[in-house]
Amino acid sequence: MKPADIHAVIAILREEYKNWRTPAVTIVAQCNGSPFKVLVSCIISLRTKDEVTATASARIFAQAETPEAMTKLSVDEIARLIYPAGFYRTKAEQLSLLSRRLLEEYQGIVPDDIDELLRFKGVGRKTANLVMTLGFGKPGICVDTHVHRICNRLGYVSTKNPEETERALRSQLPPEYWIEINDLLVAFGQNHCHPVSPRCSNCRLSGICDRIGVKVSR
């Protein structure tokens, strides 16, 4: 894919996005989600299906919308509320510890700095960038498995892991697309450009995409 084609890709995905399910964490952000709620939902979402993330987030936020409220719940209570999210017990411990640290070290306010966010146990670059973009509306490029896979499949980057993909995108992706690239490609990946057997036959990007690594498609 020619670098200049990214403008056409984004334009098409913006149109198609209206037909797809909105990612669960994005819904949290759109529904008056605070940076704390975005952060919690991001942690729940790791290795968890989107529909599970949505229901688990709704249950935990019905009981705790702030770090202070979260610290009043036991780890067992948090685990019960976010079940059956993947690794729910570990995540419950992380959420409890994270909330206490926010109160003790940050006056209960989620920091709007990637390096500070990465100091929290359970927070990686994907989560930190998503909190920056969806929670604070600040520039960042959140690269998860969908963004990494699709950017390589398109031929826009040639990288081995999400960290390399983030660095590549920061150097070549036009800044106006930084915040929305995750939303667009996550929705695209969940609904159309699947990891195995993507729907290439009726994809509007078929004339642009290099289909790198695609062996079987529909």
Over the stretch 27-79, which tens digit does the pLDDT of each residue have?
A: 999 987 799 999 999 999 999 999 999 999 999 999 999 999 999 999 999 99
Nearest CA to 12 out of 167, 215, 196, 206 is that of 206
Domains annotated for the chain, with CATH where assigned, are: 3-20+140-202 (1.10.1670.10), 24-136 (1.10.340.30)
**Overall pTM > 0.75:** yes
Is residue 144 annotated as part of the catalytic site, yes or no? yes
Pick the catalytic residue from 37, 91, 144, 183. 144
What is each CA distance from 117 to 60, 91, 120, in whole angstroms?
A: 21, 16, 6
For residue 16, pLDDT beyond 80: yes
Q: Tens digit of pLDDT for each residue in 194-209?
A: 999 999 999 999 999 9
- Would you say the C-alpha torsion 41, 43, 44, 49 has a positive or negative sign? positive
Tell me the pLDDT band of 148, cut-offs 50, 70 and 90. very high
Q: Tens digit of pLDDT for each residue in 81-119?
A: 999 999 999 999 999 999 999 999 999 999 999 999 999
**Structure tokens of 35?**
């940076």
Tell me the pLDDT band of 187, cut-offs 50, 70 and 90. very high
Predicted pLDDT at 180: 95
**Structure tokens of 190?**
């969940």
Mean predicted lDDT score pLDDT of the chain: 96
Tell me the pLDDT band of 4, cut-offs 50, 70 and 90. confident
**Structure tokens of 39?**
């952060």
Pick the catalytic residue from 115, 126, 138, 160. 126
d(CA 97, CA 99): 5
Which long-range contacts does 192-200 make (Cβ < 8 Å, 24+ apart)?
Answer: 192/16, 192/20, 193/146, 193/149, 193/150, 193/153, 195/145, 195/149, 198/153
Percent of the chain whose predicted confidence (pLDDT) is above 70: 100
For residue 166, pLDDT beyond 80: yes
Is residue 138 annotated as part of the catalytic site, yes or no? no
Predicted pLDDT at 32: 77
Residue 68's H or E segment, with its range, is helix 67-71
Predicted pLDDT at 37: 97
